Copies of this chain bind each other. A is one copy, B any other.
Amino acid sequence: MRERPGDNGTVPTAKKKPNVSPSPERRRELLDTAAEVFAAQGYNATTVRKIADAAGMLAGSLYYHFDSKESMLDEILATFLDELWTGYDTVLAAGLGPRETIEALVTESFREIDRHRAAVAIYQKEARTLATQPRFGYLADSQTKFEEAWLGTLERGVADGVFRAGLDIRLTYRFIRDTVWVAVSWYRPGGQHSPEEIARQYLSMVLDGVAVRT
């Protein structure tokens, strides 16, 4: 029941359509190893030959599955953001209070770091530069949506009196956002702390501070 692209007889094949059909499972396998190399070495420092090496094949063979190095990066980031927003939207639609929303968002974020470590690391390093390119415009969109969700929740929290009023709300947003995502630089799945445990400690620090209450 699946339709094959490319066997529509008379059409002179616009251009970049693959005339063969690689299996999606193999694609995902290769994308996973590519993501690891991107995360470890940086996108620009990663050559397609390094990816091919890590996958046990030759550079040219990658082009059977993908039509460019950039499209690999694209697919990695798009897939990650897709899953991320599935989680976020669920949280945001749950109708929780401001504090509970923040807690849920942070916890969800650490789960995403756990599940998509490589993709998050790539996002962290390259998003700012990539977002200017038209092809990666969805990165900018995501950032905007991200900011709206967090800022809105924080403002609601201040209005409700559960967050301190004296703080610069925008500074607070960046503070929490950065705090959460940079954890990808040291977090390793399977370590002694579960994502939920790390989230709990982070939230404890962000919400209640590290100083002893006087």
Contact = CB atoms under 8 A, between A and B. Distances in A.
Interface stretch (A48-56, A84-92, A163-171): A163-171
Nearest to A161: B212
A21 interface: no
A160 B125 CA distance: 38
Contacts of A125: 125
Copies of this protein, total: 2
B211 A208 contact: yes
Interface stretch (A8-16, A37-45, A65-73): A37-45
A45 B129 contact: yes
A164 B211 contact: yes
Contacts of A142: none
B44 A185 contact: no
A116 to B, nearest CB: 19
Contact of A185 (B128, B163, B179): B128
Contacts of A211: 99, 162-164, 207-208
Interface string A183-214: 10110000001000010011011111111110
A42 B44 contact: yes
A178 interface: yes
A28 interface: no
A205 B161 contact: no
A201 B173 CA distance: 12
A145 interface: no
A171 to B, nearest CB: 5
Interface in A151-181: 161-164, 166-168, 171-172, 174-176, 178-179
Given A164-B211, A175-B205, A205-B209, 15 more contacts: A40-B129, A41-B129, A44-B44, A163-B211, A171-B201, A172-B205, A172-B210, A175-B202, A178-B178, A178-B185, A182-B182, A205-B206, A208-B209, A209-B209, A213-B213
13 contacts: A41-B129, A162-B211, A163-B212, A168-B193, A171-B193, A171-B202, A172-B210, A175-B179, A175-B202, A206-B209, A207-B211, A208-B209, A208-B211
